Structure 1
């Protein structure tokens, strides 16, 4: 047979090269047809084809690859038995995956029977133009449907499209209030082993059980989303990384104690989590999602009921430096602001305050960034030592460098400031050249 597809506008590409190619699952036992699909149409139509010759392989491809369209031959249905195929067809219908059935010969009775299971039934012929016109039509229809729905049909939680929207909303909120938020990626431990031991249906059931467990264990303000096909993303607004880690440790412990009813009896599984602080508002939602999954160098066998701190603090802190200048003397504030704007060779954000209360009342100081605070020993409302005490008691010591300025030239005063947490101490009047040198030394020592 001379199989071919005419070069017409009907089968023009619905995906361009470089984008996610649609995955076509071919359930067929004809080697000539398989060859045609795999080696010709895959290349010319920018599509990726998967093939299966048994019901078990079809289920495996379904749960591992999530196809966009299924093309089934009449002979495959006959060999796998109609009642078994009905279960697979129902699974596809639940997930908005179109099914096209090809008949060897035109048979009106079979057409009517198969239309209860499929979106289209047509006769397979030498010229496959009609088949691919219909396939492209159903792929476009699926794209339109998936663009409209907000819930992941496989698990019942919010989908990745909503995840991107929620992250963008949190970014805008962070820009307004400077309050960070955390995200968590959760995944069933060694899902492949679960699938191999109990089958893909039960493996998928365990994924859904994990999603339901997390959904029922979080605050109303938190949101759970499907992420990267195998796991979930949890967005925790106004939550620091340390609190997110405590939450996930509690949930990991509770989940491993549960037993789930399945068709093969009771089984228990575990999950692991990776917690990430959303560090910088200039990162896009997609960049954040790409950093969520487990690192490839973390062996699956070593990932059992663990919570990983996935925040790359060292990298994020070096992206920018924030300098807070707290002094009641306006001339000192402006002098330091102008002299320190080029203190490092990367982005610097400088803000001035007339007293300590003004500084702590401004949400600017709560950003998840690296800070250098320069303040006077004697200032109204809150003196330098009180600022030090609050910073060291309530904030991350690693992220806040404190340099105290004072006119008191006393060993006792200097020792007291150092004991309370100052990183350096300079006596007024001071040389700007010396001040810059000491600030550079402080910054280098903190990296």
Structure 2
């Protein structure tokens, strides 16, 4: 029995990649919803036939060998989607079965064990795999390092005496690279002495066990390290509410795709989606229901996106998607398919059923080294176009098109001069996309604000409105704004020192988009204004 990880980890990786490539191609044909050129189907079958057995998928090789014999005598220029799916049915069923098994294995904790003794590796592997771990083993330092970076294990277990050809310990090699990715390390050694344990801990080990191992204790201690790693990952990489990836993970995955793009020139697409009328959901049904909508959106997207796609919560009700190996038009069709499916979901609140939609913008990344901020700005621009055209749709960023500048008028209505000055300074320093400019105007009371000619333009407005002012109460100003025929032009943030929940409820009922209670923190106001200006326009 071979215990080298090279024949296991590397082949497993390429098996997974081949299965994902096949299913992604089937998905793309479905998204295109048009006739498929015969040459494209022929190359697809030929490619699988040539690769399947190489990576150890012999059954898939047999299936595609038979299909290849059939397609060689087919005389047609195009295939309809249905007949293509029927022709490839056995391949599709096989790939989904293997893919489901791969997903199950992927969910198991991944353990890499490196030891000089093959017999011990067999024993450790078999025992841990009976305990539902996915275990890769190696007796070689270089292969262990390659496996470590390919697999990104949940725990690394290594023999204290395992060294490379230069006599450098494995743990020292990994530490020198500075890329341990928060993976816990357990050292197992022949010498149970205090000095051996201290040496291991000084070198960076998280745990130490001496041989011969008590296998039950071994499994318990490995499980403890794996559980701690999962907590770290959830804290650092996952959004707590939706269980989608968070912005930090999206940024790191984007950087990885950029490096792939630089090396092999495979473009990818990025999408941004934003729930339509989400504020109305919160106002009508409450934030608990709103949170449930966000969670259901994330769950639906993760279940229906392609294998290998990344879905992340970017902030609030805005989510980002990274779609590897897909051109812009196909990416648009993919997101449109996701939108159409999401709109069919029913949500329940107080025995009332309702549906939701989202708007989306997609952009293709073909330039190596392009900053994520620039890509997101382009996707945001396409998203804004979708919102402007009526929502519940997906738009594509058209590279090279002229940037349309949008003015956002911000009114600060407060009888406190210092508050007006502070807020003016904060707003003046806001970081906004290049296609938006801010014009600020201040007013000492509600009456002068409502009578100002400054309100007569067709621009969008963000109004920061004090709740208590002379001449006209802030709630009355809000009510007047919402009674206007052009009330959709205004986004209103209330500033209030009132502690009465009743007044806050009334402001929200009258249509306030947000409120802040005095004394407020400037950073909090800044963040909320940035959101209002960016997403509300």
Q: TM-score, normalised by structure 2?
A: 0.33
Greater RCO between the two (CA within 8 Å, min separation 6)?
1
**Larger C-alpha radius of gyration, 1 or 2?**
1
Query: Which structure's residues are more often helix, by fraction?
Result: 2
